[in-house]
Amino acid sequence: MDLFVNAIVAGILLGAFYASVSVGLSITFGQLDIVNIAHPAFIVVGSYIAWILNSSFGLDPVLGGIIVAPLFFVAGVLIYRIYYAAFERTGQESLSGLAFFFGVMFIIEVVLILVYGVDYRLVTADYLGKNIDLGFVGLPLRLVVPFVVASLMTGGVWLYLSRTFTGRAILAVAQDRLALQLMGADPVRVKQLAFGLAIATTAIAGSLLIIIGPVEPSLGRAYIGRAFAIVVLGGMGSIPGMVIAALLIGVLESFVSSFAGPSWAPAVAFGALLLTLAVRPSGLFGRA
Amino acid sequence: MLEVRALTKRFGGFVALNGVDLHVGAGERLGLIGPNGSGKTTMINCISGALYNDEGSINFEGRDITRLAPHLRTRLGVARSFQIPRPFRSMTVLENLRVPLEYAAWNRAEHRHITDEAMAVLESIGLQHCAHQNSAGLTQVDMRKLELARALAAKPRLLVSDEAMAGLSSAEVDEIIEILLALNKRGVAVIMIEHIMRAVMRFSQRIIVLDAGEKIAEGTPDEIVRNPDVERAYLGE
Amino acid sequence: MFHDKADVVFWGALAAVLLAGFAFTQVVANEYYYTAVYAILQAMMMAVAWNILGGFTGYVNFGSAGFFAVGAYTSIALGKTFGADFPLPLMIIAAGLVGGLIGLGLGYLTLRLKGVYFSIATLAMAIVFETLMTNWSFVGGARGAYILTPETHLWFNSYIEMLFMVMLLLTLGSVAVSRALVRSRLGRGLAAIRDDELAAECAGVPTLKLKLISATVMGAMMGVAGAPYPYFVTFVDPASAFSLFVAVNAIAMPMIGGTAHWIGPVIGALLVGSAQQVITVTVSSALNVLFVGIMLVLFISLAPQGIVGLARKYWGRKP
- The answer to whether A109 contacts chain C (CB < 8 Å) is yes
Least Cα separation, residue C99 to chain A (angstroms): 18
| SS3 (DSSP) at C228 | coil
Chain B positions touching C313 (Cβ under 8 A) are: none
Q: What is the DSSP letter of C150?
A: P
CB contact under 8 A, B134 and C202: no
Q: C57, C143, C297, C298: best mutation site toward chain A, by most A Cβ within 10 Å?
A: C297
User: What span, in angstroms and rounded, lies between the C-alpha atoms of C8 and B229?
Assistant: 69
Residue A186 has pLDDT above 90, yes or no: no
Q: Report, as ranges of residue numbers, the positions in chain B whose pLDDT lies below 50.
A: 237
Work out the average pLDDT over A210-219. 89
Instruction: Judge whether B85 and C202 are in contact, CB under 8 Å.
Output: no
Instruction: Judge whether C71 and C99 are in contact, CB under 8 Å.
Output: yes
Q: Which residues contact C56 (CB under 8 A, 6 or more apart)?
A: C181, C182, C187, C190, C191, C194, C214, C259
pLDDT at site A175:
66
Helices (H), B139-188: 140-153, 170-185
Closest chain B residue to C206, measured at CA: B71
Work out the average pLDDT over C268-294. 85
Phi and psi at residue B9, in whole multiples of 5°? Answer: -140, 130
| SS3 (DSSP) at A48 | helix
pLDDT band at C207 (very low <50, low <70, confident <90, very high): very high
**Interval A43-65: pLDDT, tens:** 999 999 999 998 888 888 888 89
| SS3 (DSSP) at C260 | coil
User: What span, in angstroms and rounded, lies between the C-alpha atoms of A234 and A76?
Assistant: 24
**Interval C56-98: pLDDT, tens:** 998 989 889 999 999 999 999 998 888 877 888 999 999 999 9
User: What span, in angstroms and rounded, lies between the C-alpha atoms of B160 and B73?
Assistant: 13
- Give this prediction's pTM: 0.87
ipTM of the complex: 0.89
**Interval A250-273: pLDDT, tens:** 999 998 888 888 778 878 888 888
C47: Cα separation from own chain's centroid = 4
pLDDT band at C130 (very low <50, low <70, confident <90, very high): confident
Instruction: Judge whether B180 and B190 are in contact, CB under 8 Å.
Output: yes
Chain C positions touching B110 (Cβ under 8 A) are: none
pLDDT band at A91 (very low <50, low <70, confident <90, very high): low
- The answer to whether C90 contacts chain A (CB < 8 Å) is no
Higher pLDDT among residues C295 and C151, named by residue: C295
Instruction: Judge whether C237 and C143 are in contact, CB under 8 Å.
Output: yes
- The answer to whether C15 contacts chain B (CB < 8 Å) is no
Burial profile A93-110: b = 16 or more Cβ within 10 angstroms, e = fewer? bbbbbbbbbbbbbbbbbb
Q: Residue A94's closest CA among C216, C202, C113?
A: C113
Q: What is the mean pLDDT of chain C?
A: 88
Q: How many CB atoms lie within 10 A of CB C35?
A: 16
Least Cα separation, residue C142 to chain A (angstroms): 10
pLDDT band at C319 (very low <50, low <70, confident <90, very high): very low
Q: How many CB pairs under 8 A join A and C?
A: 123
A94, A102, A277 member nearest C115 (Cβ)? A94
Residue C252 has pLDDT above 70, yes or no: yes
A95, A106, A263 member nearest C60 (Cβ)? A95
Residue A176 has pLDDT above 70, yes or no: no
**Interval C172-188: pLDDT, tens:** 999 999 999 999 999 99
A131: Cα separation from own chain's centroid = 25
Instruction: Judge whether C130 and C66 are in contact, CB under 8 Å.
Output: yes
Amino acid at residue number A232: V
Closest chain B residue to C203, measured at CA: B100
End-to-end CA distance of chain A, in Å?
40
Amino acid at residue number C241: A
Work out the average pLDDT over A195-209. 94
pLDDT at site A94:
62
Chain C positions touching B69 (Cβ under 8 A) are: 201, 206, 208
Least Cα separation, residue A75 to chain C (angstroms): 17
Phi and psi at residue C138, in whole multiples of 5°? Answer: -55, -40
Touching subunits of B (3+ CB pairs, under 8 Å) are C
* Chain C 110-149, residues with CB within 8 Å of chain A CB atoms: 110, 113, 115-117, 119-121, 123-125, 127-128, 130-132, 134-135, 142
